[in-house]
Amino acid sequence: MSQRTASPAEVTRHAVALARAITVAQRTWSFYPSEHSAVALAVERLVAAAAAAAAGGMMQVAVTPHQLLIDGLPLESTELSVSDCAALLHDRDVLQITFMLPPSEAVVRALLGVLSLDRQTRRERGGPAVVWAEETQNAILLEQIDYQELLEREVDEGAARRDATWKAIVRSIIMGRSTFAPGEQQRLLDISRDVGAIGELAKDTAEAFSTPDGSPLVTTQAATVLAVYRHIAKTVAALEPDRMQEVMGTLALASTNLESSTALAMMLQEESASEGVPIVGALKRAFDDQQVAMLLARALSSPGHPTSRLASVLDTLAPDADRKRRVLTLAKRLISERDFGSKRPIDDIRQSLDELLLKYNEAEYVSTDYRKSMDEAGGRAADLAARGLPAEMPAWLDTLAYESVRRLSGQLLIDLLRNETQAERMGDTARDMAAFADELLLAGALGGVAPIVTELSVAITRPPALAPEACRRALDSIGTSDALAEAATGLGDQSREEFASFETIVVALGVVTVPALLGAYQKEDGGLAAERASALLVKLGPDAIAGLTAAIDDPRWFIQRELARLLGLIGTAAAVPPLATLLRRSDTRVMQAAVSSLARIDDPAASRAMYTVLKSTAGPARAAVIAALVGLKTARVVPMLGRILDDSDPFGDDLSVVLDTLDALSAFRDDRALPQIMTMTRRRRWLSWGKTRRLRDAGLRTLARIGTDRARQAIDSLARTGDYFLRRRAAAALKRLPPP
């Protein structure tokens, strides 16, 4: 077993990246078929993250319901993906996952397949570790919760053990049967003595009545729970009638542990006179003040605000004013002292107690039509359950699908930001939007991110600008997030629609995305990802030059080459200094790209940079620069070469630069540099006749190769107006020219 050599900071960074990769891969695996390109990309990233995590020694990650542990200490990170990964692994009974070696793609796909097993199948096969042990690999180890003990506890739960008798009772109640075998009646008697067993039986029977997406049919579930209570009460009344009062108290206690919506719906059920045991009325009489307060506290702590149904239940359970006051006081105390899993502020809940429940009037909270609709919802649900699902149900369920809910969540945040009137709350909404965008990027939902970043960008300048700095910080946090960087590395795998959304995101975020986009350059031969990244970086314009300049020290030559190309495509004077730096690199491929880019920039600074490099280099490096200029085969470089001649001293150290520049100009049939060529050809210096002769021969040779009418006229002018030696050489050059 390899010992860890990485530093604590590296371990944390690798662990966070690994948790994020596991979360994204598992979500993608559940959303798409295994052959989908999104799955392939997610698997590839998980392979890379696992390899990086295991590179410094084995990575051992312990799992709790809400946190991941490294070396027994919580993984310190503010990223939601860490807690999401912990919840994901815990829900799949994983106690610890260890990455011993960098895993292969096949191993990662097998792991995702094991984690995707449904709960019943996974446990029937012995748990995730047992299933994983069947894989022939040694890169990843799984440890699971003590599964055997868990199964034994589930099987041996006294009256609530899930044996054949228990399942027969559940099936009978679900199917509406009213008779039970002697063994089943005895089990019902045992259940009647155990509050927990009553709750488990109610839960098992009610779970059968849910929509395909798992949402409860509340009214039907309430009726089912009431049927459970009724069967228990009838059995006790027939076999042990002296325990009826005790059983009613036990049923009342079990009711306080039900889901608040189910308990409220059950209290509103109407019983016919034919019922042998009026269970609802008996339950209402059996509730003491503490139990009513508990029911009320749980209901108020549930999502949403109370309706008239809650008020009606309270009025039924506590009809007199003194008892109402006692119950409300107890409910306030329970809400203050206990955690019911509520996300509502306590003050908000207390206000609901004081204003809504005491007034029993929702007129100021909801419209009459809405209140009537909500009060009739239970009856409609019961009718639908009796008749079967309507034809519109698939379309209704589509509105509850992940993509629809995600789109609605984004639109709600956008509307909140757009309609906010207070700067502080607008800043909070902007931060929420940034966090939501980060989650969408991790899930690959680029279409949902685009409207969010667009709205944040518009909010910065829309009058009145309440919180422009908060919106800008939110955009910057998205642009510098790891989620965006991961999305950028997958540019080549994005569809046209996804890339269009990503382009909108980048344009809205601005130049903070430059480092993320540069991460798309992963291959020497470029590819679609590099092409798309380059197009986006060029679209950011001159503002991106600072970010590009910060990356020119990357040691990879192909990154330097792409930076040189990008700076040339942007093509402003601000791009000249970084291009000059790249032009001095030893790799000729980088130099050639820098030369091509400088040639695009019509600015004297570009010519001076070229001249400086030509002067400071020699041999193969200078030849590479000249070859790059000639290879462009564009007249744009002619004025640049002419300016190099203007700035050069042929009788000093610049003679070789001048000769190479003249040789380069001879490759173009362009007249714009003729004045500089003639000026250079006329130059002379006493006691430097050797340099003078070489300079004149090069100049005349260049004019002859250019071969235009103006070039011929230039040679003729030199033959007539030059000094004695220049006239002789120019005349000889004229004779060698082919006839026009």
pLDDT at 360: 43
Amino acid at 434: A
pLDDT at 463: 81
pLDDT at 84: 78
Higher-pLDDT residue of 582 and 471 is 471
Cα–Cα distance, 231 to 178 (Å, whole number)? 8
pLDDT at 287: 67
Tell me the pLDDT band of 552, cut-offs 50, 70 and 90. confident
Confirm whether pTM is higher than 0.85: no
In tens, the pLDDT along 439-464 reads 888 878 888 888 888 888 888 888 87
* Mean pLDDT taken over the chain: 77
* Mean pLDDT of the 279-307 span: 65
Highest average pLDDT, of 29-33, 318-322, 534-538, comes from 534-538
Tell me the pLDDT band of 271, cut-offs 50, 70 and 90. low
In tens, the pLDDT along 210-263 reads 654 456 677 777 788 888 888 888 888 888 888 888 888 888 777 767 776 677
Contact yes or no for 236/276 (Cβ under 8 A): no
* Mean pLDDT of the 485-490 span: 84
Highest average pLDDT, of 149-163, 354-368, 572-586, comes from 572-586
Cα–Cα distance, 687 to 45 (Å, whole number)? 70
pLDDT at 391: 65
Measured from the Cβ of residue 170, the count of other Cβ atoms closer than 10 Å reads: 19
Tell me, rounded to whole angstroms, the distance of Cα 712 from its chain centroid: 67
The full 3-state SS of 483-518, as one line of letters, equals HHHHHHHCHHHCCHHHHHHHHHHHHHHHHHHHHHHH
Strand order through the sheet with 94-99:
73-74, 68-70, 59-63, 94-99, 140-144
DSSP 103: P
In tens, the pLDDT along 340-352 reads 544 444 454 445 5
Cα–Cα distance, 105 to 47 (Å, whole number)? 6
pLDDT at 318: 64
* Mean pLDDT of the 344-371 span: 49
DSSP 95: E
Tell me the pLDDT band of 361, cut-offs 50, 70 and 90. very low
Dihedrals phi, psi of 555, to nearest 5 degrees? -70, -15
Instruction: Please state whether 464 falls in left (phi above 0), alpha (psi between -120 and 50) or beta.
Output: beta
Higher-pLDDT residue of 491 and 362 is 491
Query: Has residue 335 got a pLDDT over 80?
Result: no
Triad 138, 103, 440: Cα angle to 5°: 135
Measured from the Cβ of residue 319, the count of other Cβ atoms closer than 10 Å reads: 10
Contact yes or no for 699/681 (Cβ under 8 A): yes
* Mean pLDDT of the 360-367 span: 46
Structure tokens at 430: 């902007």
Structure tokens at 337: 């002292």
pLDDT at 442: 80
* Mean pLDDT of the 465-475 span: 87
Query: Has residue 709 got a pLDDT over 60?
Result: yes
Higher-pLDDT residue of 655 and 500 is 500
* Euclidean distance between the first and the last CA atom of the chain, given in angstroms as a whole number: 84
Omega cis (within 30) before 464: yes
Query: Has residue 432 got a pLDDT over 50?
Result: yes
Highest average pLDDT, of 91-105, 331-345, 374-388, 666-680, comes from 91-105
